[in-house]
Structure 1
Amino acid sequence: MLNTYGLTDAETQALHEDYLHLHRNPELSMQEHNTAAFVESKLSELGIEHFRCGGTGVVGILRNGEGPVVAFRADSDGLPIAEDTKVDYASTATGFLADGTEVPVMHGCGHDTHVASALGAARVLVRSTDVWAGTVVFIFQPGEETSAGAAAMLADGLWDRAPRPTVVLGQHVFPFATGTIHITPESAMAMANSLEVTLYGKQAHGSQPQDSIDPIVLGASIITRLQTITSRELHPLDSAVVTCGSFHAGLKENIIPDTAVFTLNIRTLTEPVREKVLEAVTRIINAEADASGAPRPKIEQLYTFPRLYNDPEHTGNVVGALREEFGEEQVRLVPPLMGSEDFGSLGDAIGVPYVFWMFGGADPQDPAPAGNHSPFFLPEYRRALDSGVRAALAGIRHYLGA
């Protein structure tokens, strides 16, 4: 028996088993060794040629005669979160951060859903070569959460070793109702810059503040003032987010420390706005330090995410294909997300257009599903995988004549 998108009952069971295995066994960014081996084993079973790329990335190449080349990307890394979903297939895995700290790991952003859906789509394409022609390049990308994975694959010669596509497609599960698709033409997701700022002061006893330069007070002034960038320096129609996500200083309540460290995350949709915000961040940090009589702070960039710009023409093509598959009302054009993705660099690196969309993973009856990066995040995997495979195939088949 076949369902609407072509998987047999046995293949659907395999799809679910793939997901459950991946969900139970997440790995941190750029450490996806077992995940990569699992993907390779599945591609070998399907007879799809493949190679490692970027350390823990895997590229599968499915050739079926003359025709267009379409690339489809699925990211594979997990997050340092302790899963609290209480399901019997919950992750109990652990991993190690760069500093050696052992942490719990879960697929808190649904990348297990992405990999399983891509493998499901590959199964259908392998078995239906009589109705399409061309080449599909499956990119199983590591390290999306740190923006390291796409860059690593590109540096490892991705487009020198795989056929260059005419379009790159990708998708992401999100906590809206299963069976629905959200897509944004043009600027679809934000660029991001993450910074670590070290403030230098002068240590003193808490009872003798006159002998100190207090980096905690300095940091509080900086963080408060940074919020005026979006409220007072940018045009109201220019989107940006400036977030302080961590602040660390001192060891005891009666000692004013000599340093403080905080981290910033900055989201913008256009390069001119990004440049303006980063300039303002630097100016405010240094000016507040000068006002406190403190040494010049150290500002280090941790990582960046590139733009994600959905090509308007190709987005229209994909929207049409998705609406044919899911129905007119189920595929919705939505405003940009201020979240970030490194997906766009795969196409930008070779000047190829790309399209990225979101598919629903939440039970439609759930009034308040947990969001991505939550310890409670849990797609309703049967219907989410159904959507993921159908959406992937709709996009790919549009270009391959199926």
Structure 2
Amino acid sequence: MTVEPAEIVAETALDREWLTSLYKEFHRRPELSGAEEWTAGRIADELDRFSDWEVTTGIGGHGITAVLRNGEGPTVLFRSDFDGLPVAENTGVDYASTHAQLDAQGQRVPTMHACGHDAHTSSALGALSIIDASREKWQGTVIFLFQPAEEASIGAHGMVTDGLRSIVPRPDVCLGQHVVPGPSGQVYTAPGPVLTSSTTIEITLFGRGAHASMPHRAVDPVVLAASVVMKLQTVVSRELPPGKFAVITVASVEAGKANNVIPDSARLALSCRFYEESVRTRAVDAIKRIVRSEAAAAGCEREPEFRFLGLLAATDNDSTAYAVVRPHFDRFFGEQSQEMEPWTASEDFSVIPRAFNAPYLFWTVGITPLKQWRRAEAADRLDIDIPTNHNPGFLPDLSTLPVTTQAAALAILGCLTHQWPEAPAGWSPDTGAEATDIDAAAVRRAKVETSQAD
């Protein structure tokens, strides 16, 4: 490549009206994990506008890849996700979602792009348009991967197990990005761990049911669940060394259906986040010990059940990928290119590069209107006044869309200038690293449960 990536991006026309219109279209109609049929079709329609791209649809459900081979050079993969959440939108914009779908339990729920996946998808298509229009200025192979079901933590794994490694060439490096609360247009990158690992645990407590007027005849799982929830609050504060990061959130407690019946079981759903595997192991051991001890103390005759629905590894950015991409961000965005602080959320993005034994870089982009951010910052109310991802008020500022688009294009073009190491000896599509130890049955079940969504 003889032309600097920053020059290519600056000189290549971006149809901002098309980009904004596309984003609003995705925003109006979010679809739940595994049920993104319309969204996938709409992405495929846009890909049809570009010639010479090898497009494959229906990978792992609704996953899509688009490959452009443009001479000798590195192979770079850029991934974006496109599923929504069961959240009722409260942003007040004229393109707000009023869409609803059936969830896995068969209940009709409102849906919202409350995590910015609409921005990710439209920006990926925008970056693809830049890469396509500038093909005379670069050499190599570019892969755009559009992933479903990220929110269910099964989308990347589903694509890998459905033959992704045989569908696209092995990438030398993988890239991805995410929008986050922050001053609109700031781009954050860093080497090393930037997102936590995630362990999802479903715990079933077995008591003994009875009439609500006869609690002495029961082993009340509701009281037991309450005791377990409180005791679990001590894991981080008393079981783990100070300074070791961990989050253990009891996100759901379910028990009983009637006010005159003590149920015979209760279910807890835990979301746990860590940066270090040793901390995760210690915390999970403590969770098991506490739950079993509380059940025994309550007189339960049946052992609690633990179901691990998935384990996502921490997102740990490759130092070389960072060193390659960061200067291009600095050159193009100037002071808006910032060092990224570790984020406590988790992502299944790294499943893709791990499946190819490839290095990767994942960065974030701030999406909050500057006036709103500065006002909240001045009042020391950032945690209160700025909606976070998954909040009904989360909404990317439209001015962010060109930034996320340009960041994606810059990173891709920058990586095309670097000489990456060869694939590990003996690597083949059949011998890639195990993508994840997530319960494969959960992938199959999610596909079945969401197939009825409309």
Give the alignment's TM-score, normalised by structure 1: 0.95
Residue 337 of structure 1 and its aligned partner are, at CA, apart by 1.2
Deviates more, 1:250-259 or 1:134-143: 250-259
In structure 2, relative to structure 1, the CA distance for the partners of 1:188 and 1:364 (3 Å cut) is same
Q: Secondary structure at the match of 1:45?
A: coil
CA distance in 1, matches of 2:261, 2:252: 20
1:19 aligns with 2:23: yes
Q: Is the 8 A contact 1:244 1:265 kept in 2?
A: yes
1:147 aligns with 2:153: yes
Q: Is the 8 A contact 1:203 1:212 kept in 2?
A: yes
CA distance in 2, matches of 1:184, 1:217: 45
Residue 158 of structure 1 and its aligned partner are, at CA, apart by 1.1
1:371 aligns with 2:388: yes
Residue among 400, 406, 409 paired with 1:393? 409
Residue of structure 1 equivalent to 2:55 = 50
CA distance in 1, matches of 2:386, 2:94: 19
Residue 255 of structure 1 and its aligned partner are, at CA, apart by 4.0
Runs of 4+ deviating beyond 6 Å: none
Deviations 1:238-269 (A, max 9, x none): 11111111112234445433222221111111
Q: Is the 8 A contact 2:60 2:159 kept in 1?
A: yes
Residue of structure 1 equivalent to 2:325 = 318
- Aligned pairs for 1:123-162 (under 5 A) are 123-162=129-168
1:306 aligns with 2:310: no
Q: Is the 8 A contact 1:23 1:91 kept in 2?
A: yes
CA distance in 1, matches of 2:150, 2:10: 28
Q: Is the 8 A contact 1:113 1:385 kept in 2?
A: yes
Q: Is the 8 A contact 2:80 2:145 kept in 1?
A: yes
Q: Is the 8 A contact 2:12 2:134 kept in 1?
A: no
Residue of structure 2 equivalent to 1:8 = 13
The answer for unaligned runs of 5 or more in structure 2 is 1-6, 377-384, 419-454
Considering only aligned residues, what root-mean-square deviation do their CA atoms show, in Å? 1.8
CA distance in 2, matches of 1:276, 1:165: 35
Q: Is the 8 A contact 1:6 1:124 kept in 2?
A: no
Residue among 292, 295, 307 paired with 1:289? 295
Q: Secondary structure at the match of 2:10?
A: coil
Residue among 354, 366, 371 paired with 1:360? 366
Residue of structure 1 equivalent to 2:36 = 32
CA distance in 2, matches of 1:375, 1:117: 22
Residue 359 of structure 1 and its aligned partner are, at CA, apart by 0.6
Residue 8 of structure 1 and its aligned partner are, at CA, apart by 3.0
Deviates more, 1:162-171 or 1:298-307: 298-307
What letter matches 2:94 in structure 1? D
Residue 307 of structure 1 and its aligned partner are, at CA, apart by 2.1
In structure 2, relative to structure 1, the CA distance for the partners of 1:320 and 1:257 (3 Å cut) is same
Residue of structure 1 equivalent to 2:194 = 188
CA distance in 1, matches of 2:340, 2:365: 12
Q: Is the 8 A contact 1:81 1:375 kept in 2?
A: yes
Residue of structure 1 equivalent to 2:427 = none
CA distance in 2, matches of 1:389, 1:128: 14
Residue of structure 1 equivalent to 2:173 = 167
Q: Is the 8 A contact 1:192 1:268 kept in 2?
A: yes
Residue of structure 2 equivalent to 1:77 = 83
CA distance in 1, matches of 2:8, 2:171: 29
Q: Secondary structure at the match of 2:343?
A: coil
Q: Secondary structure at the match of 2:141?
A: strand
In structure 2, relative to structure 1, the CA distance for the partners of 1:232 and 1:285 (3 Å cut) is same
CA distance in 2, matches of 1:254, 1:322: 62
Counting matched residue pairs gives 398
Residue 321 of structure 1 and its aligned partner are, at CA, apart by 1.6
Q: Is the 8 A contact 1:360 1:387 kept in 2?
A: no
Residue of structure 2 equivalent to 1:349 = 355
CA distance in 2, matches of 1:72, 1:208: 60
Deviates more, 1:243-252 or 1:290-299: 243-252
What letter matches 1:51 in structure 2? T
Q: Percent identical across equivalent pairs?
A: 41
Q: Is the 8 A contact 2:225 2:266 kept in 1?
A: yes
Deviations 1:78-133 (A, max 9, x none): 11111111111111111111221111111110001011111111111111112111
Deviates more, 1:16-25 or 1:255-264: 255-264
CA distance in 1, matches of 2:10, 2:39: 26
Give the alignment's TM-score, normalised by structure 2: 0.84
Residue 331 of structure 1 and its aligned partner are, at CA, apart by 2.1
